[in-house]
Structure 1
Amino acid sequence: MEGRLSSQQIDQFITQGFVRIDNAFSAEIASQARDILWNDLGLDKKDPTTWTKPVVRLGMYPQEPFVASANTPVLHAAFDQLVGVGKWLPCRSMGTFPVRFPSEEDPGDAGWHVDASFPGADPADYWEWRVNIHSKGRGLLMLFLYSDVSEHDAPTRIRIGSHVDVARALQPEGEAGLAFMELAGKLGSMPEREIAFATGKAGTVYLCHPFLAHAAQPHHGTEPKFMAQPPLLLRDDLSVNGESPVERAIRRALM
């Protein structure tokens, strides 16, 4: 089937924690999405003097270009392969968008972390959202590039293989898992890992294991970076004993 991940890509996902898909959606769709985002930014895209902040966060976007970008045949096929047929929910909105601008100012959000998956005692407090060994609520972390991103354009940093270390930290915590900040606090004591940068042309998507540690960084390029980082939500729960690559990666880490 055209667009399916190769066995080598599946193995890379299991061992390194991510796979890159080029041309996952079209440059035209990316351009349409950027036009909507620029309109909401209220800034002049041709005048860098109006770009006064290192990062501006925009909300969720259910418009057609965003939904279309997340529901291409190549992505649906990859979701089936990595998470399991019938186990995931199609994305019906995209966001939030941390739009990053060239700046010497510290963006203030460049720490290593793992995205949380399910609410804690107070669902309104994101810092208390949690992650557990079964990745309750989340099938994948996804990085959607809506603009061209080079190494100078604040590409997301990916700690290769860190999903293994995170799985081992989560195992003794059982169903309750760890809160976002608790887990972030443990990342500094985990083994050093090689760093990859989520670069690529607009339309590139990185499909990442939900336990993968990643981080933002300052923007030293010339053009704003437009990227969304949505979860792939689950229809059915995952399990350490399951057979999808997401589940197999967790089980392998615990051996």
Structure 2
Amino acid sequence: MAITKYEFLTPDQIAHFMTHGWVRIPSCFTPQQATEWIKDLWTRLGYNKDDPSTWVLKKINMPVLNTLDVREFAPKAWGAICELCGGEERLSEISRFWGDNFIVNFGSEKLKRRGRAVGPRELDNWHVDGDTFVHFLDSPNQGLLVIPCITDVLENGGATYICPDGIGVVARHLRDNPEGVTPYMARRGEESRFYEFQWFCEQVKDPEKCRDFQQMTGKCGDVVLLHPLMMHSASRNVLHVPRIITNAFVCLKEPFNFDREDPREYSLVERKTLKELGVDSLSGWMIKGDRETLKPGRERIHERMKEMELRRLAGEDVGPVADSGVEVHREIVKGLVWKPDQATAQSV
């Protein structure tokens, strides 16, 4: 059933999403809620909150230990998520749970002393989310990119960089490759060429394709909702003030549909995709490959990190965390070729 009345998104917010591919929903949860959510973070890391010399890593992606129900924690954010995706009935059950897989960008004293912001074309972490599945234009695995701001996220303080131009770049690549591509946009047989972030970085460095870059700043409690094909990158935190966000997961029950009989049934995400492709529909378009599930090495690293975090929470002195799914990511993705894990491979 089409959404005929929007209760959480304003007309201006809808227009902003249709123009830029993202929208900020302010004050979705309180600073008190945020403080409670991250109360164990420093113990889990083995870092001293008040001693920057103990912050071993510049940036870290933490594993999930616990989840909360976003419908209760941040109902305004949940309502906006549902409206962007075409209604709550289109979302899988897992979408309503946010994990404590915090992404902490510390920066460093060296970056602070240097004081120079690193521009978007200099960054080497450009990507779209979803390293656990073969990508198609209509993949339901990644319904939205969701960034809850658990601390204030300041300009040049580790804010996620985005490239709104990149939505169309990625959408066209996926449209033209209905056989599917890896999370790094490689066609079958090209994994050795695009085994990490080269494809995305090549697009970002091309001024004919990518000209618009923005930092996703926000106040504690804001939630930024972005189109699932939004190219984005971790940025350098030159303020050396910890920035804490998480990457909330949104998954659809069914694939996106870009050829609906009734155009009123298109979700706002689908409409934005079609707008970037310059069409009203994709009549006859369909995938030509299997919806394969991949098992990245990141999961093994997070299992090890989880074990160490639980030991720290139990009071054991195991030292600070010194590796993460971010810092060693280049080693992880080299093994992410087109070989679905046989134990988890499934059709979506």
**1:42 equivalent in structure 2:** 46
Which structure dedicates a bigger proportion of its chain to strand? 1
Partner of 2:164: 160
CA change 1:178–1:204 in 2 (3 A) is same
Question: In the alignment, residue 162 of structure 2 is paired with which amino acid?
Answer: I
1:233 is paired with a residue of what secondary structure?
coil
Q: Which amino acid aligns with 2:106?
A: F
Q: Find the counterpart in structure 2 of residue 12 from structure 1.
A: 16
Q: Which one of the candidate residues 74, 82, 85 is aligned to 1:83?
A: 85
- 1 CA distance for matches of 2:251 and 2:100? 13
2:129–2:142 contact (8 Å) kept in structure 1? no
Quick one: structure 1 residues 137 and 153, their matched pair in 2 at CA, closer, same or farther if it must change by over 3 Å?
same
> The residue matched to 1:179 in structure 2 has which SS?
coil
Matches within 5 A, 1:64-213: 64=68, 67-68=69-70, 71-85=73-87, 86-89=89-92, 90-103=95-108, 104=110, 110-116=124-130, 118-119=132-133, 130-174=134-178, 176-182=179-185, 184-187=197-200, 188-189=202-203, 191-213=209-231
Q: Tell whether the 8 Å contact from 1:132 to 1:170 is kept in structure 2 after alignment.
A: yes
Aligned residues: 239
- Tell which structure's C-alpha radius of gyration is larger: 2
Question: Does structure 2 conserve the Cα–Cα contact (< 8 Å) formed by 1:118 and 1:136?
Answer: no
Q: Is 1:217 aligned to 2:235, yes or no?
A: yes
List runs of 5+ in structure 2 lacking aligned partners: 112-122, 187-196, 261-265, 280-348
Shift of 1:177: 2.3
The 8 Å contact of residues 118 and 131 in structure 1, kept in 2 or not, is answered as no
CA RMSD of aligned residues (A): 2.3
**TM-score scaled by length of structure 2:** 0.63
Query: Where does residue 21 of structure 1 map in the other structure?
Result: 25
TM-score by length of 1: 0.84
1:134-193 superposed Cα distances (whole Å, 9 cap, x missing partner): 13312101111111111131100011232122111110111x422122364333236122
The answer to which of 194-203 and 90-99 deviates more is 90-99
What is the DSSP-based 3-state SS (H/G/I as helix, E as strand, rest coil) of the residue aligned with 1:134?
coil
What is the rounded CA distance, in whole Å, between the counterparts of 2:228 and 2:6 in structure 1? 25
Question: For residues 44-66 of structure 1, what are the alpha-carbon distances to aligned partners after superposition, in whole Å with 9 as ceiling and x for unaligned?
Answer: 101111112212331014244xx
Q: 2:67·2:100 contact (CA, 8 Å) conserved in 1?
A: no
Equivalent in 218, 228, 231 of residue 246 of structure 2: 228
Q: Please, which runs of 5 or more residues in structure 1 have no aligned partner?
A: 120-129
Q: Helix, strand or coil: the match of 1:226?
A: strand
Structure 1 residues 246 and 26: CA distance shift in structure 2, 3 A: same
Q: Which AA in structure 2 matches 1:75?
A: A
CA positional deviation for 1:114: 0.8
**Identical aligned residues as a percent:** 27
SS in 1 for 2:130: coil
Q: Would you identify which runs of 4 or more consecutive aligned residues in structure 1 move more than 4 Å?
A: 68-71
Letter of the 1:36 counterpart: D
Query: 1:56-67 alignment to 2 at 5 Å?
Result: 56-64=60-68, 67=69
Corresponding residue number in structure 2 for 1:245: 268
* Conserved? CA contact 2:171–2:276, under 8 Å: yes
CA shift for structure 1 position 7? 2.0
User: How has the CA–CA distance of structure 1 residues 2 and 61 changed in structure 2, closer, same or farther, with 3 Å as cutoff?
Assistant: farther
In 2, Cα distance between equivalents of 1:71 and 1:31 = 13
Amino acid at match of 2:48: D
- Are 2:107 and 2:241, in contact at CA under 8 Å, matched by a contact in 1? yes
